[in-house]
A and B are shown apart, each in its own frame.
Chain A
Amino acid sequence: MTTNALFSIPESSGHDMVTIAFEGRNLTVPAGISVAAALLSNGVSDFRSSVVGQAPRAPYCMMGACFECLVEINEFPARQSCLISVQDGMRVRRQLGASAINIKDEL
């Protein structure tokens, strides 16, 4: 994982800021940006592992079409981070492989 961010958020005062946790690390970012933008501007390049070959993946289209940007948000698997805005206190983790659905027997 690189720590030199390829993307940055323009410096300007007056943004409301929120704090989210990515894999336990706190990131303070402008309110209203997408989770994907928040992670990319903090140098994250490994968002998830591929379902097929476990290779690392990162956002590609940033517009909801490619599903490359999946992460786990507040324990919900496989969210498209490019389509979801950051919220204060959000817990974000990498999406590892396919998401599992939780089968409980309804006997």
Chain B
Amino acid sequence: MGNQSLTVIGGGLVGAAIAYGAVRSGIHVRVLDQGDTAFRASRGNFGLVWVQSKGHKLPRYARWSRDAVTRWPALQQELLQLTGVDAGLQQPGGFWLGFSDAEMKARCALLENVNQHGGEVPFEIMNRSKLVQYLPGIGQAVVGGSFCPMDGHANPLMLLRALHAGIICRGSEVISGVEVARIRFDSEKQEFETFSGDGRSWKSTRIVLAAGLGNARLAPQLGLNAPVFPTRGQVLITERLKPFLRYPMNKLRQTLEGSVQVGSTSEDVGFNDGTSTERIEWLARRAVTTFPALAYARLVRAWGALRPLTPDGYPIYQESSSCPGAFIATSHSGVSLASVHCFVIGAWMSGMAERPPDFGVFNGDRFANSK
């Protein structure tokens, strides 16, 4: 494999995890990433490492998410040892909370359905009095919850930093300030040439498109289909507080540093990653309903970030049939899936492993009729 080289377009969590996985398989990688004004879900997300309820419409995705949380500790350890950067993984189990009996019933049915299709994701439905033992201080409006012992959270910014450091530690490169405009495939030489808008270019024998929202525009150049679109999420963060929440919840968590993160909205506002008072208020109100004592906590920041989503919400992982050696990877839950993006997708896309079994379901061609 000495003459193999890989270009990864996009240095967010998806691109960086795949690039790091490729580097550890022994291939030279060059990550090309935009500048500081780029849209980057990886720098504005909620930080959950989550499996509960994942894949209820796609059993392969439930298993994929379970593999991901199971393999996260190995990634955390490896990055910590190699780079000294602690991605802050904690997996004490996590809660979803219900505010009505109808919600509780639907939740139970959904989690059972995941397991009837081979999910093998353990969970426990708890009533209010049981819940209070785990989450003291929970509001009156909460009627119950579901607990999954495999859920957890991490520090997504430190994870991104650790992945970038790992790529560089092992002798590969991350080049930022690059806006990729065009990619050319030379089938005789089996070579890709990537051109930036400002006239620079780089050659490689393989290429991975992991450009988040940028994938929609780049994919067709390599015979691939990735109709990703932005969904905005707004997030709030409080001042640092003494630890009072042992378990992350899908809408609220206390970080290792003590701040409470409250998330997140889901809005269709195009390429606008700003915030709005009305949604900030809505998030704050929901947080106080969940934990009344939070009424006394001070918010220090709010921000918006754009999720790159596919029409069905599930990932696209695919090799191009017209340009062999070109791959696309785009997914929601880039924090949760970081471990398998590294260990499994990185090895596959760098040519060191076969495509994982039953991966046809993640083909982007399933959206052939989407615009």
Q: Which residues of A does B touch, CB under 8 Å?
A: 51-52, 67, 76, 78, 97-107
In the complex, are the beta carbons of A67 and B293 less than 8 A apart?
no
In the complex, are the beta carbons of A105 and B136 less than 8 A apart?
yes
Closest chain-A Cβ to B268's Cβ sits at a distance in Å of 33
In the complex, are the beta carbons of B242 and A98 less than 8 A apart?
yes
In the complex, are the beta carbons of B242 and A99 less than 8 A apart?
yes
In the complex, are the beta carbons of B239 and A67 less than 8 A apart?
yes
Q: A67-B300, A78-B298, A101-B293 are in contact. Are A106 and B140 (CB under 8 A)?
A: yes
Q: Which residues from B are CB-within-8-Å of A103?
A: 136-137, 244, 291, 293
In the complex, are the beta carbons of B297 and A101 less than 8 A apart?
yes
Q: Which residues from B are CB-within-8-Å of A98?
A: 239-242, 258
Cα distance A52–B240 in the bound complex, in angstroms: 10
- Checking B140, B241, B257 against A100 with a beta-carbon cut-off of 8 angstroms, the contacting residue is B241
What's the dominant secondary structure at chain B's contact region? Answer: loop
By beta carbon, the residue of chain B nearest A78 is: B239
In the complex, are the beta carbons of A102 and B136 less than 8 A apart?
no
Cα distance A97–B291 in the bound complex, in angstroms: 22
Closest chain-B Cβ to A42's Cβ sits at a distance in Å of 26
Whether B88 sits at the interface, judged by CB under 8 Å, is: no
By beta carbon, the residue of chain A nearest B294 is: A101
Task: A100-B244, A106-B137 given; name 4 further pairs at CB < 8 Å.
Answer: A98-B241, A99-B241, A102-B296, A105-B136
By beta carbon, the residue of chain A nearest B238 is: A101
Cα distance A106–B129 in the bound complex, in angstroms: 10
Q: Which residues from B are CB-within-8-Å of A101?
A: 241-242, 244, 293-294, 296-297
By beta carbon, the residue of chain B nearest A79 is: B298
Whether B59 sits at the interface, judged by CB under 8 Å, is: no
Best-surrounded residue of B240, B244, B291, B297 (most CB of chain A within 10 A):
B240
Which 6 pairs show the lowest CB-CB distances between chains A and B? A103-B137, A100-B242, A101-B293, A98-B240, A51-B240, A98-B258
Whether B269 sits at the interface, judged by CB under 8 Å, is: no
Chain B positions 207-264 with a Cβ under 8 Å from a chain A Cβ: 239-242, 244, 257-258
